[in-house]
Structure 1
Amino acid sequence: MAPNTPSLVVILSMSAASVVVLILRLASRRLQRSKMDIGDWLAVLDILVWGCFLGVVPGVLIWGTNNLTAEVREALVPGSEEVANREMGSKFLLVHRVMYISVLWVAKGIVWSFYHDLITRAYNRVVLMWCYGVLLLTYIIPVVVTLTECKPFELYWTVTPNPGSCVRGLTQLWTVGTLNIGTDILLMGLLVPVLHQVQLPWYKKAGLCFLFCIGTFLIVVTAVRITMTVSQSHSQAVRTLWGTAEMLAATCVANAPALYASARKCVCSSRAKRQPPPADVERGGLPAISRPSRTWNGWSMAWSSKPSTWRESKALTWVTGTTITVEREVTVSRAMVEPVLDTGIHAKWIGTNGPGGETRTGAEVGAVMV
């Protein structure tokens, strides 16, 4: 049978675009010489899953499957080459459906890892780990449904006689769609404690909200895919086309924060290179210039008049009601502060024994540096 060339070209193009997005994420981390985090390793896993998907989807569309109308099935000659091709295409379809679920849930894992880097409070960490368990469970359920909808198992690739309605995969469609939308809403809800925890100007919080509220686009794509698949349940090309579009959207949304942060970081680095460094920075110390005071855990912090020194002060009230001001100076070894996520959330000290004597990352430093 002739392949569905237009649909195949579009599907392969969307798949290639998804892989490019993942490679760009990993390449940007490599160029910045940053350590691989959970999200980066999940991106590597996602590339492998996409590779499996690309390996089976041409066979599904070129050879066809056993999801046929009664008229087409009756016209087939048992033992013919077309029947053999459809049997092989149906086997590929089973792998295709598992890879489709895997791509969507790996993308959710990448979003979860982004929250994991932001959330530091113990209570919110518990909620985050609970959500991790939910994501794992909701991945296992649709995979099990996909592999158990037809009984016996051979019906998945039986062309003649009629294997029944299980080959249409409508139970799998509704199960995956419902859990997909539910977990998307769950991940969007995790944004609330993040915004409550970090200290950001309102406009930066609004930008972060917009960044993740585009996740609603995924819900729309999923709903459209379910509608189109149910209305054309015998067209595997339509189902695969919309499924690939959903996978592409999930990949782009999941990796958008990392790509945005890398782009911002490159812009900031290029601007910094065009500015001559102060004399004491060249000597390896902190610039002896005045900067606006910041606060961290009640400490008012600013650069001291001495190179390589923080000046900190904090008002303390005794039980008697007497208020005193405590001051201290902290020597720091280097003047570089590097944005980790240039969404204005937090920054990281590079090679310092900064305030408190340790290297810090997280939202608390963001309250100081943003």
Structure 2
Amino acid sequence: MLDSKDATTSGFSEDFIKASRGDQSSITSIAFVAIAGVFLLLRMFTRGIIVRNIGPEDWTILAAWVCSLGLTICILFEVANGQGHHIETLSAEDLTSLQKALYYSIILYQGALVLNKISILCQYYRIFPGKNIRLAIWIMAGVTGVYGFWSIFGNVSMCTPIPSYWNHTIANSHCMSNTAVWFSNAAINIVTDIAIFLLPMPALKQLQLPKKQKIGLMLVFALGGFVCLTSILRLRALHDVTKSTDLTWENGPIAYWSSVEVNVGIICASLPTLKAFAMKFMPHLLNNSSNAGGATSSNRKTATNMMKSRTKNATVTEIELGNKGYADTDALDPNRIQVVTVVEQDREYASDSNSVNSQQKNITGGRPASRGPDMV
């Protein structure tokens, strides 16, 4: 970057030289990747230690977070080389280093998005056994795979040869239109976000559940709507860049909205997997939720005792809720992940282990119900 003296003699004011959006990018990126990392650790602990059933969706979301961490490092490198400053105040060396970091950050951003989508689709596939929804999941996975290949390959080969992306002195180089590639990727990204967000809703509507519980489940899966919102906000920042000649100044909002988008996706994908963690370490939260709506003190005591019984005993009364209701044989299959509900009998003696076992036999036809893994 030009020093203040050189820049001022070139006609720039001191305020113009010092103006920067870089801190917004660096602080926001660090904060969100750290928060997403905490949720990821809780997810891996829940799936690996509590539920003991780590699946491909967990490893995929871990890979997405690694890409997000790489994106954050690239953003910090961009800020160190002038991102967020006015382009007129930057040296040629700063611009070269900044554009090189930008090149890799775009690839990591696209990789994180695609891996996040694949993780969510794997999660859907594990939860919903219906033939139609699984076919829809496969189709959506194929669309996501094609989109992922294009978005990553398109950005890798943006310029030929590749170094000409950041080194404009290379002769006989050719680059695709940034605007065309960026907006096509952003549009497909938003469309696939909305499709993945809506995909499980028909299956959830068919579940044999009380209305409030069904709405609660739909809200859990609707967390992807936050990702759609951040994608749209990033698209607005992208539009501002295409209308500006001060690219390094306008690129700041794109950088931090990109980080917010991928990390919010990781957080939203991880939240539904933490039910077992909450049941083990924060049962009072679920207890309070189950007693909402004016429950009596006796009911509260019963619910608390039932929760204690769940955490201490290996068997819990559970029923699979498939598209057609209860599937007895499937509920006893430990290799399948099922959407389940807990059936409780609201009596004072419910905390007694013999009473609980008696309830289980009545519900499952004389056989002990399988505890199985958590909902997701």
TM-score clears 0.5: yes
Structure with higher RCO (Cα < 8 A, 6+ apart): 2
Q: Hey, what does 2:33 align to over in structure 1?
A: 15
* Corresponding residue number in structure 1 for 2:232: 223
Aligned equivalent of 2:265 = 250
Looking at structure 2, the residues matched to 266 and 99 of structure 1 have their Cα atoms a distance apart, in angstroms, of 35
When residues 297 and 261 of structure 1 are mapped into structure 2, their CA distance, relative to the original with a 3 A threshold, is closer
CA distance in 1 between counterparts of 2:268 and 2:61 reads: 13
Structure with the bigger percentage of helix: 2
Q: What is the one-letter code of the residue matched to 2:222?
A: C
1:104-131 deviation per Cα after TM superposition (whole angstroms, max 9, x unaligned) = 2222122212211222123332222121
Within-5 A mapping of 1:209-358: 209-233=218-242, 234=247, 235-264=250-279, 266-268=281-283, 274-275=308-309, 296=326, 310=361, 332=367, 337=371, 340-341=374-375
Q: Is the 8 A contact 1:265 1:339 kept in 2?
A: no
Equivalent in the alignment of 1:90: 99
1:339/1:202 CA distance change after superposition, 3 Å: farther
Deviation at 1:276, TM superposition (A): 10
Q: Distance in 1 between matches of 2:316 and 2:170?
A: 79
Residues 15 and 54, structure 1, Cα contact 8 Å, conserved in 2? yes
Structure 2 contact 30–72 (Cα < 8 Å) conserved? yes
Q: How many Å separate the matches in 2 of 1:207 and 1:195?
A: 10
1:100 paired with 2:134, answer no
Alpha-carbon contact 2:158-2:175 (below 8 Å) kept: yes
Distance 1:116-1:336 versus aligned 2 partners, 3 A rule:
closer
Partner residue in 1 for 2:132:
123
In the alignment, is the contact (CA less than 8 A) between 1:115 and 1:194 conserved in 2?
A: no
For residue 120 of structure 1, give the secondary structure of its aligned residue in structure 2. coil
Matches within 5 A, 1:173-212: 173-212=182-221
Which residue number in structure 2 is paired with residue 325 of structure 1?
none
Taking a change above 3 Å as real, the CA distance of residues 6 and 122 of structure 1, as seen in their structure-2 partners, is closer
In structure 1, C-alpha distance between the alignment counterparts of 2:278 and 2:76, rounded to whole Å: 35
Structure ranking higher in strand proportion = 1
Report the CA distance shift for 1:30/1:341 in structure 2 as closer, same or farther (over 3 A): same
Alignment of 1:150-189 (within 5 A): 150-158=159-167, 169-189=178-198
- Uncovered stretches (5+) of structure 2, i.e. residues with no partner: 2-17, 285-303, 318-324, 330-353
The structure-2 alpha-carbon separation of the partners of 1:168 and 1:249, relative to structure 1 and needing over 3 Å to count, comes to: farther
- Structure 1 pair 198–94 and aligned structure 2 pair: CA distance change class (3 A): same
Structure 1 position 50 matched with structure 2 position 84: no
Find the partner of 1:63 among 68, 72, 81.
81
Number of the residue aligned with 1:79: none
Tell me, yes or no, if the aligned pair for 1:64 and 1:86 is still in contact at 8 Å.
yes
Give the secondary-structure state (helix, strand or coil) at the position aligned to 1:232.
helix
Find the residue that maps to 2:374 and give its secondary structure. Answer: strand
Q: 1:335 to 1:266 in 2, by over 3 A?
A: farther
Amino acid of the structure 1 residue aligned with 2:25? S
Deviation at 1:150, TM superposition (A): 3.1
> Which letter maps to 2:200?
L
Compute the displacement of 1:285 (Å): 10
2: CA distance, partners of 1:109 / 1:118: 14
> Is the deviation greater in 150-159 or in 105-114?
150-159
In structure 2, how many angstroms separate the alpha carbons of the residues matched to 1:34 and 1:286? 16
Distance 2:316 2:142 in 1: 45
What's the CA shift for 1:47? 2.9
Task: Find the aligned partners of 1:68 and 1:180 in 2 and give their Cα distance.
Answer: 29
* Contact 1:285-1:307 at 8 Å conserved across structures: no
Deviations 1:25-61 (A, max 9, x none): 1122234151211221112212322232233221112
**Pair 84,37 (structure 1): closer, same or farther in 2 beyond 3 Å:** same
SS in 1 for 2:125: helix
CA separation of 1:162 and 1:177: change in aligned 2, threshold 3 A: farther
- Contact 1:119–1:197 at 8 Å: present in 2 too? no
Cα drift, residue 193 of structure 1: 3.8
Larger Cα-atom Rg: 1
Distance 1:198 1:84, change over 3 A: same
Q: Percent identity?
A: 19
Partner Cα distance (2:42, 2:139) in 1: 31
Residue 367 of structure 1 aligns with which residue?
Answer: none
Partners of 2:236 and 2:201 in 1: CA distance: 31
Per the TM alignment, residue 188 of structure 1 is displaced from its structure 2 partner at its CA by 2.2
C-alpha RMSD over aligned residues:
4.2
Partners of 1:118 and 1:194 within 8 A in 2: no
Residue of structure 1 in register with 2:154 after alignment: 145
Contact kept? 2:360, 2:369, Cα under 8 Å: no
